[in-house]
């Protein structure tokens, strides 16, 4: 089995104790960090499908998430560069009712390496907490949501920001169920399907500001 296939398998089966060494081994063998990350994301897709069909349950999903997070820790220095430019502060969080944070953490990491100072509010963040975190240096708010059931919370968050004193702050939204149509419909300034394009979109939004 190739090292990348091994990493994929270890995430899928939630082998939290073995994943760091396997990820380091794959890097040592010359695999690109982005390629290993793709394999981890694919593995989480498989985990999601298995959950959908009832082959696994929440605890298995949780342990796969823990394995992925440990693997990402090893990849982090290889994924995130250091930018010389400062783009201002971005407040990021997963919306109220939603506990998924792997995608949000990846977006935060990429924004940070692009030059943003990132204030991460964590998961299950109510609209008021997003608004309270918007200080003078904040240029962007990024909201993540993975559940269709928390899409209304994302709508409420964007609406609350846009009707607050911080209405001029750009809001970027994302997460698996978020489409560009939905983003437009709820009044967000933009959306992106993955962490890499989140950075591109974030920079575009600031330029347009
Ligand atoms: C791991 C996981 C969990 C873990 C989360 C642990 C953690 N620390 O995150 C736990 C076990 C807690 C969990 C719980 C639940 N989960 Co869950 N979970 C998953 C799983 C398997 C992987 C998610 C993941 O990390 N993917 C990998 C990351 C890298 O991808 P991502 O999050 O999509 O992020 C990328 C993009 O979306 C984007 N992005 C993300 N955020 C943002 C933000 C911005 C601003 C931008 C621009 C882009 C962006 O960039 C990211 C990087 O490229 C998914 C299945 C799947 N295929 O996604 C189900 C899934 C999301 N869960 C699901 C469900 C149903 C649940 C539960 C309701 C189950 C239950 N019965 O209790 C609970 C809900 C708990 C809650 N209140 O949130 C469903 C959601 C269905 C739906 N359509 O709503 C899914 C799709 C599984 C399924 N197929 O049924 N889950």
Superfamily of domain 88-208 in CATH is Cobalamin-binding domain (3.40.50.280)
What is the number of alpha carbons within 13 Å of residue 74 lying toward its C-beta? 23
Cβ atoms < 10 Å from Cβ of 16: 17
Binding pocket residue ranges, ligand 1, CB within 6 Å: 41, 44-45, 47-48, 51-52, 58, 61-62, 65, 97-104, 106-107, 142-144, 146-149, 172-177, 191-192, 194-195, 198
pTM for this structure?
0.96
CATH architecture for residues 3-79? Orthogonal Bundle (1.10)
The length of the chain is 209
Specify the pLDDT at position 82: 74
pLDDT digits 0-9 by tens, 66-106: 999 999 999 999 987 777 788 999 999 999 999 999 999 99
pLDDT of residue 2 exceeding 90, the answer is no
Residue nearest to atom 23 of ligand 1 (CA): 44
* Cα Rg, the chain, nearest whole Å: 17
pLDDT-based confidence at residue 197 (cuts at 50, 70, 90) = very high
Tell me the domain boundaries of the chain.
Answer: 3-79, 88-208
pLDDT tens-digit series, residues 120-175? 999 999 999 999 999 999 999 999 999 999 999 999 999 999 999 999 999 999 99
**What is the rounded distance in angstroms from the CA atom of residue 31 to the CA atom of residue 12?**
19
pLDDT (tens digit per residue) in 35-64: 999 999 999 999 999 999 999 999 999 999
């Amino acid at each position: 089995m190739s090292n990348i296939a091994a990493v994929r398998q270890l995430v899928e089966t939630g082998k939290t104790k073995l994943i760091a060494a396997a990820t380091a081994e794959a890097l040592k063998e010359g695999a690109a960090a982005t390629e290993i990350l793709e394999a981890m994301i694919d593995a989480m897709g498989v985990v999601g499908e298995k959950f959908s069909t009832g082959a696994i349950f929440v605890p298995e999903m949780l342990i796969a998430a823990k394995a992925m997070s440990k693997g990402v820790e090893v990849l982090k220095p290889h994924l995130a560069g250091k930018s010389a430019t400062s783009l201002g502060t971005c407040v990021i969080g997963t919306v109220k009712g939603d506990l998924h944070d792997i995608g949000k953490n990846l977006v935060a990491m990429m924004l940070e390496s692009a030059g943003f100072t990132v204030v991460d509010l964590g998961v299950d963040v109510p609209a008021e907490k997003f608004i309270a975190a918007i200080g003078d240096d904040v240029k962007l708010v990024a909201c993540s949501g993975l559940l269709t059931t928390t899409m209304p919370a994302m709508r409420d968050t964007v609406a609350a920001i846009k009707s607050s004193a911080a209405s001029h702050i750009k809001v970027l939204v994302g997460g698996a169920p978020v489409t560009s149509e939905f983003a437009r419909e709820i009044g967000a300034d933009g959306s992106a399907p993955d962490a890499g394009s989140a950075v591109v979109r974030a920079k575009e939004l600031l330029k347009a500001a």
